[in-house]
Structure 1
Amino acid sequence: MDQAEDASPVEVGRRIRVLRTKLGLKQQDLASTDISASYISLIESGKRAPSDAVVASLAGKLGCSPDHLRTGRDDHAVEDTRLKLAFAEMALRNGDNGESLQAFGELLAKPVLLDPAMRLRARIGQATALEKLDRIEAAIPVLEELTRNPSLAAGSDAWCRISVALSRCYRNMGDITLSIEIGEQALATLDSLGLDVTVDHIQVGATLIASYLMRGDITRAHLLAQKLIPVAEEHGGRAGRGAVYWNAGLVAVSRRQRSEALALTERALAMMADDDNLRHVAILKMNVAWLELESPQPDTQRALGLLEDTAQTLAELGTAVEQAKCEICLTDAHTQLGQWDDALMHARRALGLLGSGPRVEAVSARLRLAEILLLREEPEEGLRNLHAAARQLRHFTPSYETAQEWRHLGDVWKRQGRTKEALEAYEQALQASGMPTTYDPAQAAALSRQHQD
């Protein structure tokens, strides 16, 4: 019989000892409630023949198959698994999100061939692919499970990636409070480790800034951005610094500092232009174009060129929401140029990309669609879309973002001479922004009289 097929206790014990040593594990690391460390020692010395159940348990901890421990024939399968994992991660980096998700799923379906580090990589990749495919509700449970992984060391690269992704996913699902809680806790954990400020601080902080902005906490976002900029300049790479300037630009937008916002975003784009993350570069181009369109004297043709370039990249690498945001910006560009047919096409395309899900972007697209239809003197469909936008907005949790859409809706109603609808939208905008209704003395007096009666 070939040595590789030897299932004698001596050979089984030898293979266990060799694998354990390669992984840097102690005999105690293989022990469990059913298998003591002393029993592991007897197995490795060939003095005990392990049962099938024990072999299966040890194989799981050693990242190999039971067949490999029994016969030694399975090394090629483990190497093949490593190659498949590398391929799945490469597909994810290249934007082949569906293909990478399938590959990660196939790997995780055979966990016996994955050592703990490989399994962690596969689960992180699976969560990332789900998020990029806009399947956020499916990504969150995977990320939550990963946070409970006892082998995940706080402050490690994997820990940081998971914390950032979980905060971002909850933010995109509309749970801003939980998103901020996760981000703040992650920053506090990094600070408590007593480490020098690292790239991890920059990544977590940049995500937290975006969540603060969505909540309308502009002051806190501004303070964090000002704190991160010098840190990023000293410790961050070009991509890290770009991310900070990107978010600082968004803060400047919220503070109505359009010129500063455009300058910061242009700087972020210059830093990340050579990055191999084409999706991030495309999104930055879209932000520059959007700010250009929002400026007092917009260079609309320049913005249109940036957006058309962005649309091509996002069609291959972006999520449906990112593609829809680009279509909304394209709608604005063509509207500024008076090209109603093109603007209408992009607004409808944005709605099609967003589907029936509860997205604030869908309201934004619908409002633009309504405006264009009204400009084209198609009032029936235009008004129908305005009413639909109002119905959609009522389903959202009040936030700075929804307040902006209510304000936009009020402006459109006002331009149509519909004072009642405009006032209602403006009132909703004030409530969504957290501003309470003013005291009404007449109403208070009437309630008091009713109470006395």
Structure 2
Amino acid sequence: MLAAMETQGHQPSDDPRESERLLAFAELALNNGSPAEALAAFAQLRGTGARSGEARALEALGRNDEAAALHRRLWERTPPGTVERAEHATGMVRCHRLHDDVTTAVRLGETALGEFGEHRHAWHGAAVRLGVTLAGALTALGELSCSQYLLNRLAAVADTLGEPASRGAVRWNASLNAHLLGRPVAAYRLSMQALALFGETDLPRHLAVVRGIHGRMIARAYPDRWREGLDLVLRSAAELSELGQGDWLVDTETEAAEILVRADRPAQALPHLYSALARPQQAESLVKADTHLVLAEALAALGDTDGCAAEVATAAAMLGSRGRRHSQLAREWHRTAALYRHLGDPARALRAYEHALVAAGHGGPVWG
């Protein structure tokens, strides 16, 4: 992959000043939502730093299998216990999770995180963030208790280190777990803590994402405060748009629409949903399936049965192309089943429930 890229267009630069200029340009392009330009610039550079940037650019382009392979090569070449090795492990785990190989993501994450702790290498912020990424993979696998146990351990480490980004990352993911466990008030409090901690960092993308999550948790924990939650989600969307974070925008606009549907304002939800569906989604098509399901719910509330049925069918087709075991996949199939029941189609509802069981790790393949 690397050799092929280096032979396309320009050869890697040997001029230190030109290399420094190209590296700065590549990082700027990547941070401003132009991953294709960043990838081309990184390919003209030599050194581990350029290869790391190349892996991140591949991720941003949704080429997660290639990014995972490059992260793994860099991880294997980097000394154990270092920040750089933990960062490559984090990328490796994240890419495998997005590529629907959650089991591999967990296995690699556990191996990489095993380098840190008592009688091993000292903890640092990058190692904590690796652990948080592993916890997210465990959640995706449906292992919520294991994920929460790990996050509890990481919270103590992060608080000792005192880094706002690491402390915020732990609480961000703990908030999502609390939400999945049906503890909306705890989820709200944890998201509020995460938002305050990321406010102390220079990580605008993370701050914007957590702002949207906090808005979601306000609306879920306190339904009468849905306008407050919606305002935060819309502010998050505006910030993400300015940062060129299209993938996160799909999720954020869908969440804004879901808040409106829950507040019995389905017509107001439609512009957000159509905007989300019009955006290119490179990394996580489960998010787009969720958008179609929220649109189906909005159309059902508006009495558009045919439109609802079409959106459910689209979502079901997208879900059927995914890997088998994934907790969000299970939740989306369950939601699909409920919509088929609403449409008076018990046969399809039953098959959707069966898909949900398989995605949750129960039962065999679904036929028909």
TM-score under structure 1 length normalisation: 0.72
| Partner in structure 2 of residue 260 of structure 1 | 186
Post-superposition CA distance 1:219-261 (Å, at most 9, x none): 1001101111111111141111001111111221222111111
- State the AA in 1 paired with 2:214: V
Root mean square deviation, CA, Å: 2.4
Higher relative contact order (CA 8 A, sep 6+): 2
Distance 1:97 1:357 in 2: 13
Residue 336 (structure 2) aligned to one of 409, 412, 419: 409
Name whichever of 290-299 and 167-176 sits farther off.
290-299
The alpha-carbon distance between structure 1 residues 91 and 395, as it changes in their structure 2 partners (threshold 3 A), is closer
Matched, 1:145 2:83: no
List alignment gaps of at least 5 residues for structure 2. Answer: 1-11
- Distance in 1 (CA, whole Å) between partners of 2:321 and 2:308 is 21
Q: In structure 2, what is the Cα distance between the partners aligned to 1:295 and 1:166?
A: 34
Offset, 1:148: 3.9
**Inter-partner Cα distance in structure 2 for 1:358 and 1:207:** 16
> Is this contact kept in 2: 1:364–1:405, CA < 8 A?
yes
Q: Is 2:16 aligned against 1:78?
A: yes
Choose the corresponding residue for 1:389, options 293, 311, 315. Answer: 315
Are the equivalent residues in 2 in contact too, given 1:354–1:362 (CA < 8 A)?
Answer: no
Deviates more, 1:363-372 or 1:408-417: 408-417
2:59 to 128, 131, 134: 131
C-alpha separation in 1, matches of 2:354 and 2:30 = 45
Counting only pairs closer than 5 Å after superposition, residues 232-243 of structure 1 correspond to structure 2 as 232-243=158-169
Comparing 211-220 and 128-137, the one that deviates more: 128-137
Task: Please state if 1:333 is matched with 2:259.
Answer: yes
User: Is the aligned partner of 1:204 residue 2:130?
Assistant: yes
Q: How does 1:264-283 map to 2 (within 5 A)?
A: 264-283=190-209
Q: Are 1:406 and 1:429, in contact at CA under 8 Å, matched by a contact in 2?
A: yes
* Distance of aligned partners of 1:355 and 1:99 in 2 relative to their CA distance in 1, 3 Å threshold: closer
Contact (CA 8 Å) 2:247, 2:282: kept in 1 or not? no
Report the AA paired with residue 349 of structure 2.
A
* Structure 1 gap segments, 5+ residues each: 1-62, 66-76, 112-118, 438-453
Percent identity for Structure 1 against Structure 2: 28
Q: Are 2:337 and 1:399 equivalent residues in the alignment?
A: no
- Shift of residue 342 of structure 1? 3.3
Work out the CA distance in 1 between the residues paired with 2:262 and 2:177. Answer: 25
Deviation per CA, 1:362-390: give whole Å up to 9, x if none. 21111111122222222222212212222
1:172 to 91, 94, 98: 98
Alignment partners' CA distance in 2, 1:391 and 1:253:
27
Secondary structure in 2 aligned to 1:165? Answer: helix
* Distance 1:177-1:333 versus aligned 2 partners, 3 A rule: same
Letter in 1 for 2:158: A
What SS class does the counterpart of residue 106 from structure 1 fall into? coil
Given the superposition, is the C-alpha separation of residues 358 and 211 from structure 1 closer, same or farther in structure 2, using an over 3 Å criterion?
closer
Q: Distance in 2 between matches of 1:389 and 1:98?
A: 29
Q: For 1:241-252, what aligned pairs fall within 5 Å after superposition? A: 241-252=167-178
Q: 1:324 to 1:200 in 2, by over 3 A?
A: same
Aligned length: 352
Task: Give per-residue Cα distances to partners, 1:49-97, cap 9 Å, x unaligned.
Answer: xxxxxxxxxxxxxx995xxxxxxxxxxx323322332343344345554
